[in-house]
Structure 1
Amino acid sequence: MPNDDVISSLTEGRFDGREAFDAILRQALSAAAQQGWKEIVFSDPDFADWPLGERATIEALQAWAASGRRFMLLAQRFDILERGHARFVPWRRMWDHIIECRATGQATGAEVPSAIWTPSWFVHRIDPERSRGVSGSEPRARRALREAIDECWRRGRPAFPASTLGL
């Protein structure tokens, strides 16, 4: 479980803009690796503007990944992630045993939130187009975000396989 010093060092409150969101994501992955967070959830309609293909992101994910960890990816679709984040796809293949991916498709009745969720901290891009949102550790907000993610997860189906089998 992350200690209070690490949680307090994570960004809390409102953020505005792509650079701010990217910095928060990097900060979160660094904290996850340092503290050995057991679970991370990434949720977004398509992850098009997330910095998942950056070398630093993959290095942080690699430092975090270990047995007993769980990484959940939720999206409406994964094709943009597969095409646009070349470094992320091989990392995903290598760590398939700790990663679960689900896609909701377009007509689910619930919009996939753009968010990062952990058991102790969250980021929620309320306005993904402008990368505006809020982050923090407040339990009620964290619980509400997880409930929204879980609702979409239940409506989704397995997606973004580590490998494609065929003849």
Structure 2
Amino acid sequence: MDGSEPTEADAWPQAPGRLNWTGREAWADAVARLVDGLEAARVTRLCWITQDPLSWPWEQAELLERLARWARPAGRQWLWLGTDFEPVRHGAPRLMRWRATWDHRVQCLAVEEARLLEGRECLLAQGLGLIERVPGPQVQGRICTDPRELVLNARWIDAVSQRATVTFPVTTIGI
């Protein structure tokens, strides 16, 4: 995306259903479209589930700026579930700077039992939609806006988060 305002054609799909995407550019576009729709849909909770955080397009400055606009109002939360957060410290400097600023909105939870994530890579904006990457060597996945499926995914995320522990502080303090 070029940083310009999204057009109606670029908007997040409003009708329930699924759209498939293939390729890194299409994936980055899907993530950007979801982030662009957060404010209009009044989404207060964003859930990111990843075992491969560096594969996501969070190093795009304009995407992080739009995410910051969403995070600004009180009551917004980004829940981040994963198995290994350390690659982000050195491999995603923009995301780390963004996170340092918005740490009060971001909760990182470590899932000790990787099997609980079942190879899932997804971003859920509750009430708006889900972007899910299909495991495998190809960069492909789907967009889902089906309200029933969004509720099922939100319940699954809540169940997994109950078995996870808070982790990945912005700064580490040595004694």
TM-score range, shorter chain: 0.7 to 0.9
Please state how far the C-alpha of 1:113 moved relative to its aligned partner.
1.7
Structure 2 residue 33 is the aligned partner of structure 1 residue 56: no
Distance 2:100 2:17 in 1: 30
* 1:10-29 equivalence runs, <5 A: 12-29=18-35
* 1:114-153 equivalence runs, <5 A: 114-120=121-127, 121-127=129-135, 129-153=137-161
Distance 2:79 2:162 in 1: 13
Please state how far the C-alpha of 1:59 moved relative to its aligned partner.
0.8
What do the CA deviations read for 1:59-117 (whole angstroms, capped 9, x no partner)?
Answer: 11111112211111111110122221101112111111111111114x44322521011
Higher mean C-alpha deviation, range 7-16 or range 60-69: 7-16
Aligned-pair identity in percent equals 22
- Return closer, same or farther for 1:147/1:126 CA change in 2, 3 Å cut-off: farther
Partner of 2:79, secondary structure, is strand
Partner of 2:172, secondary structure, is coil
Give the residue type in structure 2 aligned to 1:138. Answer: D
Partner of 1:48, secondary structure, is helix
Give the residue type in structure 1 aligned to 2:130. Answer: F
Runs of 5+ in structure 2 lacking a partner?
A: 1-10
Higher mean C-alpha deviation, range 36-45 or range 69-78: 36-45
Give the residue type in structure 1 aligned to 2:62. Answer: A
The answer to whether the Cα contact below 8 Å between 2:120 and 2:135 also exists between their aligned partners in 1 is no
Give the residue type in structure 1 aligned to 2:153. Answer: L
Give the residue type in structure 2 aligned to 1:160. Answer: F
> Across the two proteins, how many residue pairs are aligned to each other?
162
Distance 2:172 2:150 in 1: 35
Structure 2 residue 120 is the aligned partner of structure 1 residue 109: no
Please state how far the C-alpha of 1:145 moved relative to its aligned partner.
2.2
Distance 2:119 2:130 in 1: 15
Distance 2:43 2:88 in 1: 24
Please state how far the C-alpha of 1:36 moved relative to its aligned partner.
4.1
Please state how far the C-alpha of 1:27 moved relative to its aligned partner.
0.9
The answer to whether the Cα contact below 8 Å between 2:81 and 2:161 also exists between their aligned partners in 1 is yes
Please state how far the C-alpha of 1:10 moved relative to its aligned partner.
10
Q: What's 2:71 paired with?
A: 65
Output the aligned Cα RMSD: 2.4
What is the TM-score normalised by the length of structure 2? 0.81
The answer to whether the Cα contact below 8 Å between 1:103 and 1:159 also exists between their aligned partners in 2 is yes
